[in-house]
Structure 1
Amino acid sequence: MRLDDVDVAILTELQEHGRLTNSELAERAGLSASACHRRVKTLETSGVIDRYVAILSEKALGRGITVYVQVTLDNQKRETLVAFETAVEAVPEVMECYLMSGDADYLIRVLVRDANDYEHVHREILSGLPGVARLVSSFTIRRVFSRTTMPVPEELRV
């Protein structure tokens, strides 16, 4: 899909201020409310807008520690990969999971209360997932920054 400057303005505003009313969004994008609504629906239908979410404060919810875990499986068989991916998705402390190239098979991001909480997750949950041969954990010291807005690539612009 090719995006013009108005589409980019709509996407930028929605990423930064997701609770804008259609009227407010239309005003900021320089459109009528009906034209803005049509544009947003097109962006949703085309998949450019994937979903709408509220971003919660990890710290306020008592999940102030982020741990990145490199997971190595005991084999690369399709069944093992599928079993691991299905099981890890069911672990509520795991916020993200990526199939990787390199030394580890997966990289997961885990949110926990503290080191004791992570020890429980590591020992009782992660180490028991299908196919897990090795876990290498890295605790973050502090978040320097975190982005939720994604720039629109130039090659998609009209």
Structure 2
Amino acid sequence: MSGQQRELTLRFLAEPTDVNYGGKVHGGVVMKWIDQAGYAAAVGWSGRYSVTVAVGGIRFVAPVRISDLVTVTTKLVYTGTSSMHFSVDVSARDPMGGEARLCTHCVIVFVALDGVEGKPTAVPSWVPASDEDRRLSEYATRVMELSKGIEQTIERYRQPAG
């Protein structure tokens, strides 16, 4: 039985080992935090082991600096039969005070798996209840549609000309 937790927030402290040559946190570290928060959110909603299947619309808006307190907020915005789409915002601020700034946002999709064969399994459905929920649900599905279009374009150009 799942707790059907729709929102989840994780916090991280940007450490010296997380930074790149420019002194800012690596995009890959930020993506790892997004994946960790997404996994916890997917398990919290479905009550099942879940795996990442896609990340769409990722945008690095502002850098995360060393020693920043980083907040990764996930919100379930769409469910399919076995999939869960989460809107993710990554913000950062000086831990001694100051305003948080949006650094990254994206949509991340997880699929719940059964415990026997590792096959996709049904998740509890979520139905938008407000105009904001409907807007977020539409946003998530549009971002993922755009990502599929990008994948198809890449695949066309990766195939040898003939």
TM range (shorter): under 0.3
Q: TM-score, normalised by structure 1?
A: 0.23
Q: Which has the higher strand share?
A: 2
Q: TM-score, normalised by structure 2?
A: 0.22
Higher relative contact order (CA 8 A, sep 6+): 1
Report which of the two structures shows the higher radius of gyration computed on alpha carbons: 1
